[in-house]
Amino acid sequence: MIRKAFRVIVRGTVQGVGFRPFIYRLASRLGYSGFVRNIGEGVEIYLEKEDGQLEEFLESLKNEAPPLARIEGVDYQPVEPLGRSGFEIDRSSQEKSFVFISPDIATCQDCLQEIEDPEERRYRYPFTNCTNCGPRYTIVRQLPYDRRQTTMSGFRMCRDCRREYQDPLDRRYHAQPIACPRCGPELSLLEARTGRKLTGGLEQAVRLIRQGKVLAVKGLGGFHLVCLATDQKAIKRLRQIKRRQTKPLALMARDLKTVRKYAQLNPDEKSWLTSPARPIVLLKKKRELPGIAPFIDTVGIMLPYTPLHHLLLKDLPLIVATSSNRKDAPIIKDDSLVSPGLCDYILTHNREIAMRADDSVIKVVNGKPVFLRRARGFVPFPQAVPESLQNPVQILAVGGELKNTISIYKNGYIITSQFLGDLDDYENFRYFEETLNHLKKLFSFRPELVVSDLHPDFWSTRYARNLKIPHLQVQHHFAHSLAPLIEHQLPPGEKFLGVSWDGFGYGDDGQAWGGEFLLADYDGYERYAHFDYVPLPGGDVAAREPWRMALSHLYRAFGENFPCLRPLASIPESRLRPVRLMIERKINSPLTSSAGRLFDAVAYICGLAPARVEYEAEAPSRLEAAASRVRSKRNQGYSFSVRRDSRPYRVDFSQTIDELVLDLKKKVRPELAAWKFHLTLVQLILEMAVLARKEHGLNRVVLTGGVFLNRLLTEQTERVLMKNGFEVLRPVFYSPGDESLSLGQIAYALNRVKKGEL
């Protein structure tokens, strides 16, 4: 028989995830000799066998890979046989390249069984993990990914852990965070005010939570503030601590039975809730939990994702688990920053957090996720770039001002950071710099080109200018529209209609854009149509006070004799009159085409939003919740007009506001008015898509921007467009909001570099 040999290279997230032991077992089972080792670009496998064929090996490689592995590509070629006997795991190559790191992953079933079994040596041990689960991104300081480069470096393995670590057939083979009660991290329970260490640890923490205390609990990427979800006094106190009166609080439930007690759960939502990433999933409420998510119809719930969480929830079926940070600041990761005023007690441990990361938040729309926040469990998964856009230049994109992320490009892949928050907060800007430095170290990244938003005064733009390397700027909504193209692996060539709706983006004309229809491709865009400009009285303050935009749209629709509806009657004349004069005299009232501000206006006119909101998108969220209670298929939307006398076309909502006011005067329920408003926008998108197909032959529609975090709008628009024969793209593993700007910025830069324009 002829002896055959092959060299196989596997690229992707294949280091630190139990991949080499998997290959060892697979090759041994199939009778191959040879070796497997880590190399700079992934994993190298040498296979040798009498009359050997690769088909069964490659099929098993794809179907049986470890749960944390993410295979991006497999290359193989025949080579000369070396005459190896047996299969071995060889020492890793020292070459440096672009190696991927797994995100932090929820505790696997095998580890759960161990912490629940009194006969196991890791019984009730809160830091149990293996190659299939546990911390990764939040503990690694730099590459290569081994124990000495992580925050586990200070914990010397005991004899039993060392034996598991060195055994290729053990699921803890080269599990860098491996630990046990004898040699690993330890819990501590502290009194917040005095710092005094208490006895009882975990059991005492459970008792304190039951007594109504608020605890700061150290997790994978930072501290949670925790209290009993059914204790109204504790929830009220936690809200006072967070200075958060209406913004929803996240819950952690013991199991699916508990989830179903409080929320509706469909199969797709269940799949995401129980996935290894364990995100917070926004679910329709089944019953109201006072003080948790007021005025909206959804509640954010996650399942336990660390052994510590599982042990806490064993005796506490449902807890509040919200980020421990001051308003708009990054999540706290260090014990020293947990101030006495933040909680009553601190449940912490002595394993340092190298890189903080919030919980990811998603909702499921038409079977696919919509990310409100992409962080723990998903970062730093790589995003492959279409081959036609790949180039050797290393590119940094610094995103926008709000909901910032950083993206880096190197060797055909993009890594996007976790959610970093709003950069107008100094602590978040420091977090931005900290994260960029971390990514540089992890991926040996040295930017040769930087990309930012068009806005000259964003902190991210200023940072980009100061780097003293070639600097490219990309218009906000164009970057939004390009991001899904990269995610869906679409090469340059075909134009599309980008529907990019959000609260604010700096436009080419210096105005505040936000209700945009763009004819676009990778090369550039034309502003095909937009919401007609209306005044933004008071500038940024109008985003926090919806009544101002209500007044602006009413003034636009009715002029000086606009009706004083009941919600406006609650605004004192001493505040109403100056704002009206601002609009009339065009004083401190920049123009905006913002879709987000239109939602604010309609929510307030319908009496569904407060005069001043506490958090971003509070008014639109209340409007969506009201509309979701109706969902009548018999109703038509309101009228609107598209002015086509010149390009770009302009969408005038004066008729919409007129008919909305008429409905409310007729005592039409606000919920029905909200539903009709959503239908109006769905009809508008369809009308513009049909027009673009007629005038330009376009059949692809891309839905982006923060407005498409709205479940109702997204699911209805997607269905209507697909029913009318359109190809619809939207972000799936990235947010439609400003978190994805850095991804779109990279896309534009890649095309410019590939065309030799930079």
Report, as residue numbers or ranges, the catalytic residues: 20, 38
Residue 596 near residue 706 (C-beta atoms within 8 A)? yes
Helix/strand/coil for 504: strand
Q: What are the strands, taking DSSP E only, across 392-441?
A: 395-397, 407-410, 413-416
Cα 233 from Cα 224, distance rounded (Å): 18
594 three-state secondary structure? coil
Cα distance between residue 227 and residue 302, in whole Å: 15
- β 449-453/471-474 pair status: parallel
Rounded to the nearest 5 degrees, what angle is found at the Cα of 16, between the Cα atoms of 11 and 17? 80
- What spatial distance separates the first Cα and last Cα of the chain, rounded to whole Å? 56
Contact, 588 vs 535, CB < 8 A? no
Residue with tokens 């068009």: 454
**Distance between CA 58 and CA 613 in Å, rounded?**
55
Cβ atoms 129, 179 nearer than 8 A: yes
| Cis upstream peptide for 380 (omega within 30°) | yes
* Cβ-based neighbours of 203, under 8 Å, separated by 6 or more: none
Residue whose tokens read 């009201």: 626
Cis peptide before 78 (omega within 30 of 0): no
Closest CA to 720 of 674, 687, 753, 754: 687
8 contact partners, CB below 8 Å, separation of at least 6: 44, 45, 46, 47, 54, 74, 75, 76
Measure the CA–CA gap between 430 and 421, rounded to whole angstroms: 11
On the 0-12 / 13-18 / 19+ scale of CB atoms within 10 A, 317 is: middle
Q: Give 661-699 as a 3 state SS string.
A: HHHHHCCCCHHHHHHHHHHHHHHHHHHHHHHHHHHHCCC
Per the CB < 8 A criterion, the answer to whether 249 and 236 are in contact is: no
CB 525 within 8 A of CB 519: yes
What would the two tokens of residue 738 be?
């400003």
Q: Which of 638, 621, 646, 625 is nearest to 707 (CA)?
A: 621
**Concatenated DSSP letters for 42-86?**
EEEEEEEEET--SHHHHHHHHHH--TT-EEEEEEEEEE------S
Measured on CA atoms in the order 467, 468, 472, 476, is the torsion positive or negative?
positive
Name the token pair of 306.
Answer: 């660390």
Stated as kind and residue range, the H or E segment containing 37 is: strand 33-39
How far apart are the C-alpha atoms of 484 and 493, rounded to whole Å?
15
Render the burial of 564-599: b for 16+ CB within 10 Å, e for the rest.
ebebbeebeeeebeebbebbeeeeebbbbbbbbbbb
